[in-house]
Chains A and B, each alone.
Chain A
Amino acid sequence: MCLAIPGRVLEIFEDRGLRMGRADFGGTVRKVCLEHLPEAGIGDYVLVHVGFALSKVDPEEAERTYRFLEDLDQLGELQAPEAEP
């Protein structure tokens, strides 16, 4: 029910006072309400739930979390006890 998916904003327009747009979800394009996400612009990824953009996807945070997880095994090795010389 709380399904929300990231889509890339393709276009922004006004519909009788509401800031609306179209976003691309992996090839499917749907209408999205951007009224409550003024910081989102064309080309940004936004998280959309039932046609309503909830938040902007922060590319730096996404990259940071993912890199950290990818490097986990290296961290694990770093944390292993050092061999006695």
Chain B
Amino acid sequence: MKYLDEYRDGRVAAKIVAEVRRVTTRPWTLMEVCGGQTHSIVKHGIDRLLPAELELVHGPGCPVCVTPLEQIDKAHAIARTPGVIFTSFGDMLRVPGSQTDLLRLKSAGADVRIVYAPLDAVRIAQDNPGREVVFFAVGFETTAPANALAVTRARALGVDNFSMLVSHVLVPPAITAILQTPGNRVQGFLGPGHVCTVMGYREYEAIARHYRVPVVVTGFEPVDLLDGVLRTVRQLEAGEASIDNQYSRVVDRDGNAAAQRLIWSAFEVCDRKWRGVGTIPKSGLRLRYELHGYDAERRFEVGALETREPAECISGQILRGLKKPHDCPAFGTRCTPASPLGATMVSAEGACAAYYAYGRHREAAAP
């Protein structure tokens, strides 16, 4: 496919690796922010092509992973409600809550449906006027416009049997939280390419300046990721800390203004709890006041839910780049994708699940 295949070219990748080796003189720790980037790095073994001085740690950018257990349990309570059609992106179906997951609820008789686009959930509501249709609106800024479109469309078309369970998160507050963590190891960031197609990278300029840390907006293919590493290392070696845009074929400084307007027409910023990490101030989105009628948490009384996470799970430290999957004694033994203990194992884009999927649990320790 055009604009994908050429960024998977091993010949070009080898050239970049050689250049990274040439410019690296000291140890540096880099974090890729996005779960999609983590998955691609582990899948293609990109971290293992790099010189020993460079360490990649894996960031919090997997929205499925960081959706708090309370919201997952609420989703399950709503999906169990008679008459409800519960719609969700496919990635959320296997994520375990305190008791069950959506896939198991579906096989037990709940009407759970996977949608590709949030607008499809509105269509399902129009086609089923006698039923309550709930959409599980999770995601980062990349997904926020599409989710905003669904709820604003439902209102415009008068589809009153549609509502959303919102658990949206934002990247810049998470990066800031990582940089403020005592013992932070991250010296440079591969920035979230697709988040920046929507938001641009102005917000990251302030982070780079304030924390003296290079941020390179980076794509998702192997050549993109290696180029992102190269650009970050060049800055670090030169003592620079600025924004660079590796993903200029789809990202510019201002992002998509129309998509941003759409986001703010439906959502407002709120504090949000991240699974494994805890509450990060102003790190989430919730429905605006005018759209409270479409808020599934208000429409369905799910009551107070008590949740408990396994104490031995270290996903909070992994999500902040303090530890890696092999540092956890449960990794690959008591904790697997089929039976995950916490955030970074629940989705294919979580660091632990990616390591497991590509056989790294069979290795004694990280290289």
Contacts and interface: CB of A to CB of B under 8 A. Distances in A.
Interface of A: 1-6, 8, 16-18, 25-26, 30-31, 33, 35-38, 45, 47, 49-52, 54-59, 61-62, 64-66, 69-70, 72-73, 75-76
A69 B119 CA distance: 39
> What secondary structure prevails in chain B residues at the interface with A?
helix
B283 interface: no
A37 B258 contact: yes
Contacts of B18: 72-73, 76
Contacts of B119: 33, 51
A47 B15 CA distance: 27
Interface in B1-20: 1-4, 6-7, 12, 15-16, 18-19
Contacts of A31: 117
A72 B15 contact: yes
Given A2-B139, A47-B197, A58 B157 contact: no
A56 B248 CA distance: 11
The 5 closest A-B pairs by CB, nearest first: A51-B117, A26-B1, A52-B146, A62-B249, A36-B258
Contact of A2 (B2, B36, B251): B36
Contacts of B15: 69-70, 72-73
A47 B1 CA distance: 13
A68 to B, nearest CB: 9
Contact of B249 (A33, A38, A50, A57): A57
B140 interface: yes
B143 A61 contact: no
Given A18-B153, A36-B258, A38-B258, A49 B249 contact: no
B258 A1 contact: no
B227 interface: yes
Given A49-B194, A50-B118, A51-B119, A2 B143 contact: yes
A3 B146 CA distance: 13
A37 B138 CA distance: 22
Given A36-B145, A65-B227, A72-B19, A3 B36 contact: yes
B19 A54 contact: no
B34 interface: yes
Contacts of B153: 18
A1 B223 contact: no
A62 B157 contact: no
Contact of A1 (B6, B156, B256, B347): B347
Contacts of B197: 4, 47, 54-55
Contact of B4 (A5, A8, A17, A58): A5
B249 A52 contact: no
B259 A2 contact: no
Contacts of B120: 51
B2 A45 contact: yes
A69 B259 CA distance: 31
Given A52-B145, A65-B248, A73-B15, A1 B117 contact: no
A55 B251 contact: yes
A2 B34 contact: yes
Contacts of A8: 2
Given A18-B153, A49-B194, A50-B116, A1 B62 contact: yes
A54 B252 CA distance: 12
A38 B258 CA distance: 9
